[in-house]
Chains A and B, each alone.
Chain A
C-alpha cells in the first residue's frame, strides 16, 4: 500500500495530472469528511481541501517519504489545517465579533439534512468503532483530535489529572488501532 502511495506521489512530483486525479478520487472524500467534522461548515471544509490539493500540485516536495506514509501525512495535514481554521473562528467569536454568519452558528451542528453517506468499509468500520468507545475516552479524543486542545487544556476542561487524560487517550487510540487490525485480517 505504502509503495503504491509513494508511487502516486512520485508521479505527482513529475507533474502527472492523472496521478493527481487518482489521489483526489481516492482521498478527497475522507479528507473532506474529517475537515467538515472539525469545522462543521461545508464551505470552509471545501476551502481546506482546495488549499491542500493546491499545495500538493504546486509544491509536491512539501511531502517526502521520510515523513511517513503519504496517506497518513495527508490526513494529519487536513486535520491540522482544519484545526487552525477552527481556532481562528473561535478567536473571532471570543473577541465578540458580530459577523452575521458566525453569530448564527452553534459550535457544532448536528444535521438532519439530506447528506448521503456512502463510505468504504474501513471508513464505516472506524466510524462505528469510534462511536462505541467508552464515553470518557471518546470525549478526550474529541477534544484533542477534533478540537485541537492540548492535554493540559483537556485536563482543565474535564477536571481530570494530566495522567488520566494521557491514559484515556492511549486506550482510545489502541482500541481504534486494534479495531482496524481486526478488519484488515
Chain B
C-alpha cells in the first residue's frame, strides 16, 4: 500500500499520530490525490462496517431520536423570575466544594434487625438483577426467559418495598433518611418496570430503563449505607467526573413511574460537562433528581414532565429543574409539601419525605448556610408560571475539571 493510501486509512481509523494527522489535513486542503485517497479509505472502512452482524434497533430508539429534533422548551421566563433572580443574588461559590457522601450511615445503625436484613437482601437481589438487564444480556438481545425467571421469584421488588415501608422507622434522622432515600427515590420506578417485565406487555425500552434504574439504585444504596458493600463503595468514593450526559441519556424520552402513576419525560437543555466529582456525589444528585420527578410526575396534567440541567444561568451553579403543566389544586398540593404545611397528612406523607430528602441534601451541598437561609435564598423551591409548576434545586458547579478519570 503506498504511503498516501496508508496515511488516509490510518487517518480514517484514527490511528495516525497527531502531528501526522495535522500534516495530512493540510494536504487535504490542496491535494486532489490526498482527497481521493481519503474518500477511498472511507469507502473501504464503510465496507468493513457492513461486514458486522446485522442487528435490529427498537422502535423506541427512533422515537427518542426524533423527539430530540423538537424545539427545546423556552425557560427564559422561569430563569428571569423573581425566585431565580434572588438565587442569582445569593448564590456564592464555596471554598470547598461538596463531593457527596455526607448522607452515609452504617446499615447496622438501623434499630430493626428485620429492616437491616430486608435492605441487605434487596441490595443482593439487585446485584443479581444487574447483569440480567445489561446491554450484553440475553434480555437485551430479546431473550427474556432468564430475566423473567428471576423476576418471578418471591418477594418481588414491589413487595420488598411495601414490606420495608410498612415498618415505622424511628431511628435518628440521618438513619431514617438513608432508609427513605433507598426506598423512595429510584426504587418505586424500578419496582414498576420489574413488575411490567414479568408479563407480556413490555417493550425493549423497559429492559434498558430497568438497567439504568438498577445501576442507580445500587449506587444510591451504597452511598446511603457505608457497610452494605465496602469494596464497591471504595470505588464510588474515587475522584471521577460524572457528566451531565449520563443523566441526559437516562432521562431522555424515558417513561417514569412513581408507584401507580406514570409519566413521560422530556429533555432539551442538558448542558455538556461534568456535574459531580465522585460516584457518591452522583448518587446523591441522582436521588434528588428522582425525588423531583416523583413529586411532579403524578401531578402532571398531561402525563408529561420536563427534566433539565441548566448551567451558568446562575454563575457557579447547576440548576436542576423539573417542570410540568399542572392543575391549580395539584400545584397547591406541591406547595403545601414544599412549605411543610401539614407534614403528617397521610396521602402525602411519602411526598413530604421526598422534599425533605432534597432539603437535607442541600444543607450538605451548601454547608455555609442553614436550611432556612437556603430556602430564603431560593437555592431550591417551587413556583407556578403559566399553568406550569417548576421545582428546582441549585448544586455547586465544578470550577476546574481535575485529573480524576471520567466515569
Given contacts A17-B66, A17-B69, A105-B136, are A46 and B61 in contact (CB under 8 A)?
Answer: yes
- The chain A residues found within 8 Å of chain B, CB to CB, are 17, 20-21, 24, 28-34, 36-37, 39-47, 49-50, 53-54, 57, 66, 68-69, 71-73, 75-76, 78-80, 83, 88, 91-92, 95, 97-101, 104-105, 109, 111-119, 122-124, 126-127, 129-131, 141, 144-146, 148-151, 166-167, 169-170, 173, 176-177, 180
Complex Cα spacing A127 to B211, Å: 30
Q: Can you list 11 pairs linking A and B with CB atoms under 8 Å apart?
A: A37-B52, A49-B65, A68-B39, A104-B130, A104-B131, A114-B143, A119-B54, A127-B52, A148-B14, A169-B9, A176-B48
**New A-B pairs, 4, CB < 8 Å, besides A112-B138, A116-B142, A151-B10:** A32-B61, A98-B235, A101-B134, A101-B215
Interface residues of B in 1-38 (CB under 8 A from A): 1, 6, 9-10, 12-15, 35, 38
Q: Which residues of B lie under 8 Å from residue A43 when comparing CB positions?
A: 134-135, 140, 208, 211
Closest to A32 in B: B57
Contact B10 A126, beta carbon cutoff 8 Å: no
Q: Please give the distance in Å from A12's CB to the nearest CB on chain B.
A: 10
B405 at the interface (CB under 8 A from A): yes
Contact B62 A28, beta carbon cutoff 8 Å: yes
Given contacts A28-B57, A42-B141, are A75 and B49 in contact (CB under 8 A)?
Answer: yes
Of the residues A50, A68, A101, contact of B68 by C-beta under 8 Å: A50
Closest to A12 in B: B69
- The chain B residues found within 8 Å of chain A, CB to CB, are 1, 6, 9-10, 12-15, 35, 38-39, 42-57, 61-62, 64-66, 68-69, 127, 130-131, 134-136, 138, 140-143, 208, 211, 215, 218, 231-232, 235, 249, 252, 405-406
Contact A115 B235, beta carbon cutoff 8 Å: no
Q: Please classify the interface of chain B as helix (H, G, I), strand (E, B), loop, or mixed, using the class held by over half of its residues.
A: helix
Q: Please classify the interface of chain A as helix (H, G, I), strand (E, B), loop, or mixed, using the class held by over half of its residues.
A: helix
Contact A41 B134, beta carbon cutoff 8 Å: yes
Complex Cα spacing A168 to B53, Å: 22
Q: Please give the distance in Å from B261's CB to the nearest CB on chain A.
A: 26
Of the residues A40, A71, A166, contact of B1 by C-beta under 8 Å: A166
Contact B13 A98, beta carbon cutoff 8 Å: no
Complex Cα spacing A20 to B70, Å: 12
Given contacts A45-B135, A57-B69, are A33 and B12 in contact (CB under 8 A)?
Answer: no
Of the residues A33, A44, A54, A130, contact of B54 by C-beta under 8 Å: A33
Q: Which residues of B lie under 8 Å from residue A131 when comparing CB positions?
A: 51
Closest to A172 in B: B48
Q: Please give the distance in Å from B245's CB to the nearest CB on chain A.
A: 8
Contact A72 B50, beta carbon cutoff 8 Å: no
Q: Which residues of A lie under 8 Å from residue B9 when comparing CB positions?
A: 169, 173
Report the 9 A-B pairs with minimum CB-CB distance, sorted nearest first: A113-B141, A130-B51, A41-B135, A43-B135, A37-B52, A119-B54, A150-B15, A72-B42, A126-B50
Complex Cα spacing A180 to B43, Å: 11
Q: Which residues of B lie under 8 Å from residue A73 when comparing CB positions?
A: 42
Of the residues A44, A54, A95, contact of B135 by C-beta under 8 Å: A44
Of the residues A29, A36, A44, A100, contact of B218 by C-beta under 8 Å: A100
Contact B55 A117, beta carbon cutoff 8 Å: yes
Contact A33 B52, beta carbon cutoff 8 Å: yes
Contact B134 A98, beta carbon cutoff 8 Å: no
Contact B208 A76, beta carbon cutoff 8 Å: no
Contact A50 B141, beta carbon cutoff 8 Å: no
Of the residues B38, B53, B231, contact of A98 by C-beta under 8 Å: B231
Given contacts A104-B130, A123-B50, are A21 and B66 in contact (CB under 8 A)?
Answer: yes
Closest to B14 in A: A80
Q: Which residues of B lie under 8 Å from residue A66 when comparing CB positions?
A: 35
Q: Which residues of B lie under 8 Å from residue A126 when comparing CB positions?
A: 47, 50-51
Complex Cα spacing A176 to B65, Å: 32
Contact A42 B68, beta carbon cutoff 8 Å: no
Q: Which residues of B lie under 8 Å from residue A31 when comparing CB positions?
A: 49
Complex Cα spacing A145 to B211, Å: 29
Complex Cα spacing A148 to B12, Å: 11
Closest to A138 in B: B51
Complex Cα spacing A115 to B136, Å: 12
Q: Which residues of B lie under 8 Å from residue A115 when comparing CB positions?
A: 55-56, 141-142
Complex Cα spacing A47 to B9, Å: 26
